[in-house]
Structure 1
Amino acid sequence: MKYLLSHKIFSVALSVLVLFSTFSFTVEKHYCGNRLVDVAIFSEAQGCGMEMPSKMTMKKSCCKDTVDIIEGQDELQSVTFDDLDFESQTFITAYVYSFSLLYESLPKQIIPHKDYSPPNLVYDIQLLDDVFLI
């Protein structure tokens, strides 16, 4: 039981690892002076309201935005059946063929009297005549 649970936990952890290794996202941070004001993932960071308008570009603004781009893996290695050598192809083919024969369905059972209806009993003669085998 504990091996089954640890196996499930391990397989879920590996699948999450593959998912996040191929996942790309950005982290935007807004600083006002040396103080971090806002952090946003998947969206733009909101400002503190002290940004300088575009007309006043002569003065240096105390606010700055930083963007960290975390790129995921773009290429995953995929192996097709044709890329394998002959011995591996033969082993996989034999393995699949041998285990596919294990799951064949059972033959249908033939019931010869399936459509036969029994005759209607009008009277129970033994009960009427009070004749019982002892």
Structure 2
Amino acid sequence: MKRFFHKILAFTLTFAVLFSTTSFAADMHFCCDKLVDLAVFSKAKLCYEKVKKQDEKPTKECSVGQMDCCSDQTFVKQGEDNLKSVSFELDSNNVVFLKAFFYTYINLFEGLELKTVPFINYDPPWIEQDIPVLYETFLI
């Protein structure tokens, strides 16, 4: 369960860094203060196909087809450019430390090649009498 939460946290932080460093623009087209089209990486389509017929009476109210009531808005999210770049320099002290660390870390997981039992060739002592019976001490 702990691994699962670590993976979720890592994914969330990765997504946050990716989202904060990239930039994108969203283009929106409004007619009569109603959102008609939204485009993220392209230009929003206008509402030409919804224009009213010419023979209808013009009204002063805002309708979907009137071009003077339409407006376009663009939302631009700029990415962050002031990230701290990490430089990793290897000098002789760091190389010696890394070699020693990896050598001891790898040798930490080496097991015994054979399962050796040091007393395999010795017999247990010969018990002449049963001691709990002799002293009449029994576990209850």
- Shorter-chain TM range is 0.5 to 0.7
C-alpha separation in 2, matches of 1:70 and 1:93: 46
Relative distance call for 1:31 and 1:16 in structure 2 (3 A) is: same
Relative distance call for 1:92 and 1:12 in structure 2 (3 A) is: farther
Relative to the length of structure 1, the TM-score reads: 0.56
* Aligned ranges 1:52-131 → 2 under 5 Å: 61-82=68-89, 94=97, 96-101=98-103, 102-103=105-106
Code of the aligned partner of 2:79: G
Q: Give the % identical residues.
A: 35
Q: Tell me the CA shift for residue 75 of structure 1.
A: 2.5
User: What are structure 2's unaligned runs of at least 5 residues?
Assistant: 52-66, 111-140
Code of the aligned partner of 1:62: C
C-alpha separation in 2, matches of 1:71 and 1:48: 28
Code of the aligned partner of 2:100: S
Residue 115 of structure 1: aligned partner? none
Relative to the length of structure 2, the TM-score reads: 0.54
Q: Tell me the CA shift for residue 100 of structure 1.
A: 2.1
Q: Is it true that 1:36 corresponds to 2:43 in the alignment?
A: no
C-alpha separation in 2, matches of 1:27 and 1:75: 23
Relative distance call for 1:15 and 1:29 in structure 2 (3 A) is: same
DSSP 3-state at the match of 1:10: helix
User: What are structure 1's unaligned runs of at least 5 residues?
Assistant: 51-59, 83-88, 107-134
Code of the aligned partner of 2:81: D
Q: Is it true that 1:11 corresponds to 2:10 in the alignment?
A: yes
Q: Alpha-carbon deviations, 1:34-84, whole Å to 9, x = none?
A: 22111110111011115xxxxxxxxx82211111101111221122135xx
C-alpha separation in 2, matches of 1:20 and 1:45: 22
Moved over 6 A (4+): none
Q: Alpha-carbon deviations, 1:64-123, whole Å to 9, x = none?
A: 1111101111221122135xxxxxx967962x223321448x9xxxxxxxxxxxxxxxxx
Relative distance call for 1:39 and 1:76 in structure 2 (3 A) is: same
